[in-house]
DNA sequence: AGTGGTTGGTTTCTTTTAGAGACCTGATAG
DNA sequence: CTATCAGGTCTCTAAAAGAAACCAACCACT
């Protein structure tokens, strides 16, 4: 029902959230970036229940965000590692970290910071255009229907645009 | 219980997810970026139940991510707009959109694309260092304890680092 | 004066998820 | 022969989400 912009719809953000939009998945991936690899490690660092951890890891493996690899065979034991698809979630976590540090943590009270080994300095990631390399801001970015947009999506876009214009006038 | 890295802990990503890590909050914010402002608009575009929408909007207003503004007074009616704090979630949504388009949508089937009005071209946001302006990749970024890190956090970092080194050897 | 539509909700009931904790398995260690 | 570790499963309870009915203030029509 409703215009085709919701969760099971083709919006890439909605699709990502469909997969990872619970309270644990992105924390598991964060820990994986920190180097955690084993069931027990995730469980202890996160304080997540085993049942939910099993479910989340299964989902992540099925989605090919993580892969399960045997690291010993006498008793078979596996570890979970990020795939390329998983590693590319790095920018998502970085922008989240930046926003959290900026708005949820008092200044000077940050518990985590980022060091860029290129320049050796503390860094705050910035977004730039892949084309002109200029900064990206909401005002200078426009979302437009892509090649896979069907009539419904275009329609939804029009409606949203029209509505937001109406609001501006009043 | 467990090392201090979980949800109620000082990790900025965990704090963000504590606030926004459900299946709806970020979609509401996405719609707000698209220009949706009214209860009904969110409800129809998202297909979310009114109860949950009420709860989420309340949370977002309490967190000062959105603000409720009266737009007419005969029958009092309000609309919900992003605050500066909310608008700064833009990079988070952009990186999510990029990942979703890249990994969850078939190439050429993207329903949404971004146009950078600076250069007028289709763009894929990239992350660069605020310092040296060079690209940021997992391999070139290191998370280090910040000024607000207490002994526990530093300890947790050490443990994680040690564990991931052990893994590399085996 | 009554009917229906619009906006922005609340209430109730049912289904889904999450969480705590007991239990299981296969292996090695003492 | 018992203990411990890694990596789970199973069961039960509590919390959250979803569907749908209802409510209320105002307007516009008839």
Please count the structural domains in chain A. 2
| Cα→Cα distances A162→A76, A137, A143, A156, B37, Å | 59, 21, 14, 10, 12
pLDDT digits over A27-52, tens only?
999 999 988 899 988 988 888 888 98
User: Residues B19-44: what's their mean pLDDT?
Assistant: 92
Q: Are strands A126-128 and B77-82 parallel, antiparallel or unpaired?
A: unpaired
Same domain, A21 and A64: yes
| CA distances from residue A35 to A143, B17, B110, B142, B158 in whole angstroms, order as listed | 36, 20, 33, 12, 11
Residues A13 and A69 in one domain: yes
In our burial notation (b when 16+ CB lie closer than 10 A, e otherwise), range A4-34 reads bbbbebbbbbbbbbbbbbbbbbbbbbbbbbb
What pLDDT is attached to residue A166?
55
- Taking the Cβ of residue B100 and every Cβ of chain A, the question of whether any pair is shorter than 8 Å is answered with yes
Considering any atom of strand C, list protein residues whose CB lies within 7 Å: A 22-24, 47-52, 55, 74-75; B 38-40, 50-51, 54, 57, 75, 77-79
> Can you list the positions of beta strands (E) in chain B?
66-72, 77-82, 112-116, 121-122, 126-128, 141-145
> What is the phi/psi pair of residue A8, to 5°?
-80, 5
* Cα separation, A62 vs A147, whole angstroms: 28
Q: Are residues A82 and A95 in the same domain?
A: no
List beta partners, residue A122: A115
The dihedral of CA B60, B61, B67, B71: what is its sign?
Answer: positive
The domain of A124 spans: 89-140
Strands (E), B50-108: 66-72, 77-82
Residue A164 lies in a domain: no
Residue A30: which region, alpha, beta or left (left: phi > 0; alpha: psi -120 to 50)?
A: alpha
Interface of B with A in 23-82 (CB under 8 A): 23, 26-27, 30-31, 33-37, 41, 44-48, 71, 79
Nearest to B99 among A23, A44, A92 (CB): A92
Inspect the interface and report whether the beta carbons of B112 and A143 lie closer than 8 Å. Answer: yes
Q: Are residues A3 and A76 in the same domain?
A: yes
Helix (H) or strand (E) holding B84: helix B84-87
Residue to mutate among B30, B70, B91, with most A CBs inside 10 A, is B91
Is residue B31 scored above 60 in pLDDT? Answer: yes
Are A100 and A78 in a shared domain? no
Higher pLDDT, residue A158 or B131: B131
Q: Please check whether residues A111 and A126 belong to one and the same domain.
A: yes
Q: How confident is the model over A124-129, as a mean pLDDT?
A: 94
Alpha-carbon distance of B121 to B55, in angstroms, equals: 39
A70-107 tens-digit pLDDT: 888 778 888 999 999 999 999 999 999 999 999 999 88
Residue A116 covered by a domain: yes
- Report which of residues 42-71 in chain B place their beta carbon less than 7 angstroms from any atom of strand D: 47-52, 55
The answer to whether B100 touches A16, Cβ cutoff 8 Å, is: yes
DSSP reduced 3-state for A69? strand
Which chain B residues contact residue A23 at CB under 8 A?
Answer: 7, 17-18, 21-22
- Residue B165's pLDDT is 60
Residue A62 sits in the same domain as residue A127: no
């Amino acid at each position: 029902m409703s215009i085709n912009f919701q969760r099971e719809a083709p919006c890439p953000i909605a699709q990502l959230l469909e997969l990872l939009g619970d309270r644990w998945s992105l924390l598991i991936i964060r820990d994986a970036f920190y180097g955690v690899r084993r069931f027990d490690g995730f469980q202890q660092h996160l304080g997540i229940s085993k049942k939910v951890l099993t479910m989340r890891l299964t989902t992540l493996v099925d989605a090919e965000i993580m892969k399960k690899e045997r690291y010993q065979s006498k008793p078979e034991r596996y570890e979970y590692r990020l795939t390329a698809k998983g590693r590319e979630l790095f920018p998502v976590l970085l922008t989240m970290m930046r926003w959290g540090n900026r708005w949820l943590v008092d200044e000077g009270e940050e518990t985590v910071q980022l060091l860029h080994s290129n320049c050796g300095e503390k860094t705050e990631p910035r977004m730039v255009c892949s084309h002109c390399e200029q900064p990206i801001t909401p005002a200078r970015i426009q979302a437009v229907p892509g090649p896979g947009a069907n009539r419904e999506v275009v329609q939804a876009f029009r409606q949203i645009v029209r509505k937001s214009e109406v609001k501006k006038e009043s």
